[in-house]
Structure 1
Amino acid sequence: MSLLIQGPKQPGNDIDIYLAPLIEDMKKLWSPGVEVYDAYSGENFQLRAMIYCTINDFPAYGNLSGYSTKGANACPICEDDTQSFWLTNCKKNVYMDHRRYLPKNHPYRKKKKVFNGKTEERTARKPLRGETVFSRVENLNVTFGKFKGNGKGKRKRTGITPPKIIWKKRSIFWELPYWKHLQVRHCLDIMHIEKNVCESLIALLLNIKGKSKDEINVREDMIEMGIRPELAPIRNPGKRTYLPVACYTMSKDEKTKFCKCLHGVKVPSGYSANIKKLVSMKELKLFGMKSHDCHVLMAHMIPIAIRGILPDRIRHTITKLCLFFNMIHSKVIDPEVLDSWESDIILTLCQLEMYFPPSFFDVMVHLTSHIVREIKYCGPVFLRYMYPFERYIGVLKGYVRNRHRPEGSIVEGYATEEVIEYCTDYLQGVNSIGIPKSRHEGRLVGSGTIGLKKIIPNREDLQLAHFTVLQHMTIIAPYINEHKRTLELSNRGRSNRWLVKEHNKTFSQWLKDKVRASYGIDSVDQAVVHLGNGPEDLVATYQGYDINGYTFYTNQQDGKSTLQNSGVTVIASTEVYGDSHDTRVRIAKESYYGVIKEIWELKYDSIIIPMLKCKWVDNQRGVKVDNDGFTVVDLSTNGYVSEPFILAKQATQVFYVEDPKESGKHIVMHSKRHILGIDDVVDEEEYDQFDELPPFSIGIPSSNDDVDDTIYLRSDHNEGIWIS
């Protein structure tokens, strides 16, 4: 309701009146429950249900919980133990002092100069239990309803500072008998926390006018705090004021590199919105970012865009913050790593305090310190996303035709769609207007989408593709082993490497002869016969192809599109030989990265097998994992020319982002897919026929450097901020 009815007429704290019928039903569902018939077992059973948490944005968090999410004690987890500081010039509360969460013997606690000028001896209080919180609100008297003011639009000032009130009401949820026993009753909205942190970070780095946290007021506040005197404003009589270059201040050239990197990003289908549209190269800023755009930027793109354009310590700290948001969005989380995540984010926040201005640390930045606690109690954050609710609110708002009566328009539009949906069940040949079908419905096994063309390829390429098919077919494995044994017996004394080359060269013809000799024998599998005879000479080629939940394009098609669907990776086994080149040392599994050049469909009678012809990056010369954990590839290298083909069903999609640090190099990023529920897929991991892929980044090692020599001024450029 508070999302739909905005402005002064929104329910606010009166939302409890609307929730009263729901709470009555939930109390009944908790005890004694509702008798329900189970059609499968043919028996009645007692159905019970409970609300284990709510999920809202931060203002609605205050309306539902009754806690005051504004002012000095804005954190609903810390409550009256919230440590805030009032910036007199910025006129805002900031929430720093994250050193309280560090171990008592941590060296950061003793540092003065690099923090707020004081040592830290305090210890953060553990979040209060539900019973304790209930005792604080149990006797609160609440009167619902809107009250008119004195008619002048302003409150009368009495000169007396009113006492701090952190609880505005006793929420109606406390009437649920189990509510006070829950450790987490109202969940933090990770989506909006991430969005606000992302916007603050980008505004600070790019110094976006009107949004940057670095301005003359915060520089004066730092003077009052007695910290970072080298960043004090330099006032010229009758002229503009100059703000010296801070360690996080980018030069115009660095801003251009940052924006150029994001402006050049092309992502696969279904990954995100077009990031290029968010970047203004003229004004060197980002604008119009939606919540999911901020998620993609924060979790994936910002660590790449800042490579090589900020001092190492600043860059590593920002990257660790971004990787934290990347990790918490994981679908599967090992409970044993949560304690280390919690300590890492506290350490990261402390390091941000060392470098960033105090105005950066609003309550949203502080709330990141409590995210891991909620994961421990409530599970992965994707189970509590606000994305589906926000999208559905957008659907409901789309029903509005009369802006003077939005509620009635929504009811009318919703009811109309329900009636039409019911009627379509009785109309032949009419598709449902409900949940749209996935574009991959019916295409998981492979389907060409763009640019069908029939060609007759050269004989050498066709044989390479055919041999690749035979190597990966389970029913052909016994014939492969038989051929290898035959070669070993007839070529005694030959090296292993020679035998492998001879097998690759002669196996296809050997299998074809063997299949022809077995005509009329019923025991031979017909699929083996079709594969052994080889593919048809006429090959269907495509510019676009859907398979395994991915949309693949050729590199040529990518050049015409705003998307990048031509990047692939495959994990393959490689035979490694010793110095003599004869003795096989081991079989190594490696990730190979490439770009799709052509998409083929080989036809073996009734069997159709899609293939990808790729240009592969040479792993020896063109692939490395740098100190920051990113996989960097040189797409100009051309490796494994004799093995250009892979089965399309074995390919995993990746995409490449240009590395701003090294010209001509690219960072490997993994694509994503959603195939659960499509074509009866119930387990995505079981559907995969390949090994688990390594992450796009292995993380930034923790810095144990001495922080006493922290430098707040940049010496590599002098492009500070001028203020009129």
Structure 2
Amino acid sequence: MVLIRAEQDASNIGGHASEHIDELKRSNPQNVQRRHKDQFVEWFEREITKLHEEGKVNDLIYALSKGPDHWARVYNRCFINGFLFRTARKENNLSTQNSGVVVKGDDTTGNIDWYGVITKIMSLDFAMGKEVVLFQCDWYDVPTVNRNQGRGYKKDQYGIIDVETTQRRYIYDPYILGIQAEQVFYVKDVKKPNWSIVIRMKPRNLFAIPLLSDRDNEVEIDLDSLVVGVQDMNVAHTHDNITHWSRADMARVSGDAFVIEKAQADVQSRNEQSDSEIDDDDTHIDETVMLLGIHYIKNLMMNSLCRF
């Protein structure tokens, strides 16, 4: 099962969108954007099918143009973009939080970031074994462009963001592509019960290692090229007897082995309790017919990809 990396071919889709808009302008310059939104999906499928027969587009774009299967899988969690995401409902009895999500804006949206929580994770199957992951989310209210304050949003001089978790937006447009999502963590404000502080998370296995440099020449050093051998290490007192590494000014203290064993057992018990919070159910909740409408989903995906 292959996950579609749609952003790799987003520029091609954007080019076809511009071509369709130009055709609409030539035929009738009125209501171009509305007609483009209503007609682009069918036009895109016909155009890509013809180009695929001529060998001018790859299988990835062709599979996307045909639309998804009418059956979809619904999951409790998934791992994408280096983040482990989980639905909010699954976290009701957990102390961990993986349902917070943020989508970065671009120049067309004034670089506004949208914050929310995941309510459903869906996997759509396409032709040729391709797959697309969709997140259904509850979105919090954010202000318009160039504003740091709003009805449900505050940003202070230090860049700390607070959101009002009872204010909702985009109720009728809750879906995003999984590849658009990044993860955030919400910390409840003790003074304002309905407000939470937004903490951005970093992807797993991503480490910010500082570059070493020569202070005189400011030459960057490749960390992978550094070789440290034992023979280069200056170890003091190499001939000291290790049995002498003890304090002589304090009396020795004897410990009861039973106390140590009990402490180890307590630690193991706490670890087992923590592990019990992990959702081991990797299977989907159920497999059902998506009633959202394939036309709507295809429109959503095309519009999202054209914004990359």
Do both share a fold (TM > 0.5)?
Answer: yes
Query: How do 1:323-402 residues align onto structure 2 when only pairs under 5 Å count?
Result: none
Q: 1:637 to 1:503 in 2, by over 3 A?
A: farther
Distance 1:505 1:490 in 2: 16
Q: Is this contact kept in 1: 2:52–2:58, CA < 8 A? A: no
Q: Of 555, 558, 562, which residue of structure 1 is paired with 2:91?
A: 558
Q: Find the counterpart in structure 2 of residue 596 from structure 1.
A: 118
Task: Tell me the TM-score normalised to structure 1 length.
Answer: 0.26
* Residue identity opposite 2:117 in structure 1: V
Query: How do 1:524-673 residues align onto structure 2 when only pairs under 5 Å count?
Result: 524-573=57-106, 575=108, 588-605=110-127, 606-620=129-143, 621-626=151-156, 629-673=159-203
Identity %: 30
* Residue identity opposite 2:65 in structure 1: G
Distance 1:643 1:542 in 2: 20
Q: 1:528 to 1:627 in 2, by over 3 A?
A: closer
Q: For structure 1, which runs of at least 5 residues remain unmatched after alignment?
A: 1-444, 447-468, 576-586, 684-724
Query: Higher helix share goes to which structure?
Result: 1
Q: Find the counterpart in structure 2 of residue 474 from structure 1.
A: 11
Q: Is this contact kept in 2: 1:624–1:632, CA < 8 A? A: yes
Q: 1:491 to 1:569 in 2, by over 3 A?
A: same
Q: 1:502 to 1:641 in 2, by over 3 A?
A: farther
How far did residue 503 of structure 1 move? 2.6
Greater gyration radius: 1
Q: Find the counterpart in structure 1 of residue 255 from structure 2.
A: none
Q: Aligned with 1:672: secondary structure?
A: coil
Q: Is this contact kept in 2: 1:470–1:476, CA < 8 A? A: no
Q: Aligned with 2:185: secondary structure?
A: strand
* Residue identity opposite 2:68 in structure 1: P
Distance 1:564 1:502 in 2: 42
How far did residue 544 of structure 1 move? 0.8
* Residue identity opposite 2:16 in structure 1: Y
Q: Of 488, 493, 498, which residue of structure 1 is paired with 2:25?
A: 488
Query: How do 1:109-258 residues align onto structure 2 when only pairs under 5 Å count?
Result: none
Q: Is this contact kept in 1: 2:186–2:199, CA < 8 A? A: yes
Q: Aligned with 2:110: secondary structure?
A: strand
Distance 1:527 1:534 in 2: 12
Runs of 4+ in 1 over 6 A off after TM superposition: 469-472
* Residue identity opposite 2:45 in structure 1: K
Query: How do 1:53-64 residues align onto structure 2 when only pairs under 5 Å count?
Result: none
Distance 2:201 2:52 in 1: 46
* Residue identity opposite 2:195 in structure 1: K
Query: How do 1:453-472 residues align onto structure 2 when only pairs under 5 Å count?
Result: none
Task: Tell me the TM-score normalised to structure 2 length.
Answer: 0.57
Task: Name the structure, 1 or 2, with higher relative contact order (CA <8 Å, separation 6+).
Answer: 2
CA deviation string 1:170-228 (max 9, x = no partner): xxxxxxxxxxxxxxxxxxxxxxxxxxxxxxxxxxxxxxxxxxxxxxxxxxxxxxxxxxx
Distance 2:43 2:7 in 1: 12
How far did residue 574 of structure 1 move? 6.3
How far did residue 595 of structure 1 move? 0.7
Q: 1:558 to 1:574 in 2, by over 3 A?
A: farther
Q: Is this contact kept in 1: 2:138–2:174, CA < 8 A? A: yes
Q: Is this contact kept in 1: 2:9–2:61, CA < 8 A? A: no
Query: How do 1:22-33 residues align onto structure 2 when only pairs under 5 Å count?
Result: none
* Residue identity opposite 1:617 in structure 2: Y
How far did residue 673 of structure 1 move? 3.3
CA deviation string 1:411-457 (max 9, x = no partner): xxxxxxxxxxxxxxxxxxxxxxxxxxxxxxxxxx97xxxxxxxxxxx
How far did residue 622 of structure 1 move? 2.0
Q: Find the counterpart in structure 1 of residue 35 from structure 2.
A: 502
CA deviation string 1:512-546 (max 9, x = no partner): 22234446322232222111110111111111111
Q: Aligned with 1:562: secondary structure?
A: coil
Q: 1:619 to 1:573 in 2, by over 3 A?
A: same
Distance 2:65 2:190 in 1: 49
Q: Find the counterpart in structure 2 of residue 514 from structure 1.
A: 47
Q: 1:676 to 1:670 in 2, by over 3 A?
A: closer
Q: 1:510 to 1:472 in 2, by over 3 A?
A: same
Distance 1:476 1:629 in 2: 35
Q: Is this contact kept in 2: 1:471–1:477, CA < 8 A? A: no
* Residue identity opposite 2:60 in structure 1: A
Distance 1:661 1:491 in 2: 57
Q: Is this contact kept in 2: 1:625–1:631, CA < 8 A? A: yes
Distance 1:502 1:642 in 2: 21
* Residue identity opposite 1:535 in structure 2: P
Distance 1:564 1:676 in 2: 19
